[in-house]
Structure 1
């Protein structure tokens, strides 16, 4: 009795072609996934590396327009006086006023990359030269939270005017920029400009690139 049931069951299975085909397809898919995942070697992912030429690197550097290379904070404290004059010839001593003023700010020096020039030694592909103008003051920004009048001595015959304060501030700006020259900030800017450019070219081209930075005569 059992043998007959088994035989009739197998006969029923083979008499259902749709079920048989579906099972065969499923088995084929599973076998393909297993073989692909565990037995076939994985494909290597190839990353294309962008090759940069020295001239392309230089163009990208120039696109930055200017390069800030050095900065310093300053605080100028000084006394300003003003005396009325008779016919612009004689000082009137009883008309003298004065005020102490503190002027603070930050001055930044850098180089103009728009005027930079690039050359490459024909005998050595890795010998590069960048020529720059001398550093200049890129910005001189006052810190008005720290600047202002410290003490004033007004005069009823010659009141302190806003124009007097404005004139003194202009003198402080000129003085701060002169101190940049005297204090060697431009020397620091030249050294930092050279170091920064060499670092940029080395990062793009590798350590084999020999970059020389030349500054034009003022």
Structure 2
């Protein structure tokens, strides 16, 4: 009996010690939890601060305004390479005739063919900006570049074509005959367009007005823009 009571007493002491240890563990957990929260908060704060600073630095680099100067504006202008400043439509109606010749000298009778042809297109003129140069002296900007020229001559094939033809069995009209006549019309259209100089004069005046407008948009009337053309 005495041994049994001693065992029960020992068991009671073991239970009390177990409960005491549990209570101490529970009481110490809030301290660990609070310490974890504090440490976690510090780490989160550091991470967010670093991300914010990085984003701020990147944003500053991307959005930093470029210093505007006449040279910068000029570089943007010449990046176009060519500036079309005038466009002119034309239409040539003419007749082509051809006779077979003996030794390319004497026309052979009854071998003539002919056709009426309409050749229409558009001529565009302007300036070449690729080799243009800028000089800045005080408040005067000087642009040096080549004289205006014909940039393109594009036929309108919907309006161009043979209007009437008189073929000849001894000298039929060939495709190469029409092609050669088209080439002549194209050369003629350019020659007539620049013959009196008005087309290129208009191209020059418009080019100067366009370039001045670009500088005025950037600087107002701060600079005077002048032009020099190479011979």
TM-score of the two chains, using structure 2 as the length reference = 0.70
RMSD: 1.4
Equivalent residue for 2:122, pick from 106, 124, 128: 106
Q: Which structure 2 residue ranges, 5 or more long, are not aligned?
A: 1-62
Equivalent residue for 1:187, pick from 201, 207, 212: 201
Name the counterpart of 1:63: 79
Count of residue pairs brought into register by the alignment: 168
TM-score of the two chains, using structure 1 as the length reference = 0.74
Equivalent residue for 2:161, pick from 130, 143, 148: 148
Name the counterpart of 1:211: 225
Quote how far apart the aligned CAs of 1:136 are.
Answer: 1.2
Name the counterpart of 2:212: 198
Structure of greater Rg: 2
Quote how far apart the aligned CAs of 1:51 are.
Answer: 3.3
Q: What pairs with 1:1-218 in structure 2 (closer than 5 Å)?
A: 50-121=66-137, 124=138, 126-183=139-196, 184-217=198-231
2:174 and 2:87 map into 1 onto residues whose CA distance is 33
SS in 1 for 2:110: helix
1:163 and 1:71 map into 2 onto residues whose CA distance is 29
1:182 and 1:113 map into 2 onto residues whose CA distance is 24
State the 4+ residue runs in structure 1 displaced beyond 4 angstroms: 47-50
2:229 and 2:189 map into 1 onto residues whose CA distance is 24
Moved more, 199-208 or 150-159: 199-208
Moved more, 180-189 or 170-179: 180-189
